[in-house]
Structure 1
Amino acid sequence: METARRRRPYACAWCGRPIVDSETGRRRKYCKQACRQRAYEQRSQVSGTAVPADAVILSTAEAEQLVDRLFELRCAAEDVATAVAERASHDELTGLCRRLLDQAADADRLR
């Protein structure tokens, strides 16, 4: 039972990419060394400040891009809802759902 649970993918603590562990050993926190290094650098930069260690710091441009991606995601979800209400064809709904999933994956990316 323990092995089956350990093999399920989980997210990298830095970039969010999926990680699948081997059967033995401690669970990895990061998908690769570069993510581990970036996390260390961030912890080092905020140590001794009022910024919490688990804070996500975005530049103004990054925050604006995130807001834009979330707006696009909401628009894609509204398109799907409208198509369902108008009883759109299966092919049209499939395309809209694919677009919605792509937008969600893009919006999910913080770094």
Structure 2
Amino acid sequence: MTGASRRPDSCVWCGREVAETGMGRRRRYCRQSCRQRAYEQRNQVKGTSIPADAVVLTSEEASAMVDRIFQVRCAAEDVATAVAEGAAAHEVESLCADLVQLAREAERFR
């Protein structure tokens, strides 16, 4: 993820929320393991034509990400259908909660 496309309070490696420290520089990683993975990735692309901010996914990871995005779209369509059909508020709330959960899972691609 590039700095421009991430939320200011999210890990630059995995996208999870980063705890505020209050003092000093803002933390860029949520955990030491994310910091380590980012370091390893930067070193692996040194001397290659791969940009340092490139995200390289295995075919399994790419397929899983496409599946999660599809689940988000289906959940959004369920919400739209429920609203169009005049579903009860508690049904729409439940569908929206599912949609938000799926969206959170989809934004994590590592």
What residue number does 1:99 align with? 98
Find the residue that maps to 1:25 and give its secondary structure: coil
Cα RMSD after superposing both structures: 1.1
Structure 1 consecutive aligned stretches of length 4 or more whose deviation exceeds 3 Å: none
Deviates more, 1:51-60 or 1:19-28: 19-28
What residue number does 1:63 align with? 62
Q: Deviations over 1:50-73 (max 9, x none)?
A: 110001100001101100110110
- CA contact under 8 A between 2:11 and 2:17: conserved in structure 1? yes
Pairing 1:21-100 to 2, within 5 Å after superposition? 21-100=20-99
Q: What is the Cα deviation at residue 28 of structure 1?
A: 1.3
Give the number of the structure with larger relative contact order, counting CA–CA contacts within 8 Å between residues 6 or more apart: 2
Find the residue that maps to 1:42 and give its secondary structure: helix
Q: What is the Cα deviation at residue 21 of structure 1?
A: 2.2
Give the TM-score taking structure 2 as reference length: 0.89
What amino acid maps onto 1:76 in structure 2?
A
Find the residue that maps to 1:53 and give its secondary structure: coil
Identity %: 58
CA distance, structure 1, for counterparts of residue 15 and residue 52 of structure 2: 17
Q: What is the Cα deviation at residue 22 of structure 1?
A: 2.4
CA distance, structure 2, for counterparts of residue 24 and residue 102 of structure 1: 31
List alignment gaps of at least 5 residues for structure 1: 1-8
What count of residue pairs does the alignment treat as equivalent?
A: 103
CA distance, structure 1, for counterparts of residue 46 and residue 100 of structure 2: 37
CA distance, structure 2, for counterparts of residue 33 and residue 22 of structure 1: 15
- CA contact under 8 A between 2:16 and 2:108: conserved in structure 1? no
Q: Deviations over 1:25-49 (max 9, x none)?
A: 1111111211111000000111111
- CA contact under 8 A between 2:29 and 2:35: conserved in structure 1? yes
- CA contact under 8 A between 2:75 and 2:98: conserved in structure 1? yes
Give the TM-score taking structure 1 as reference length: 0.88
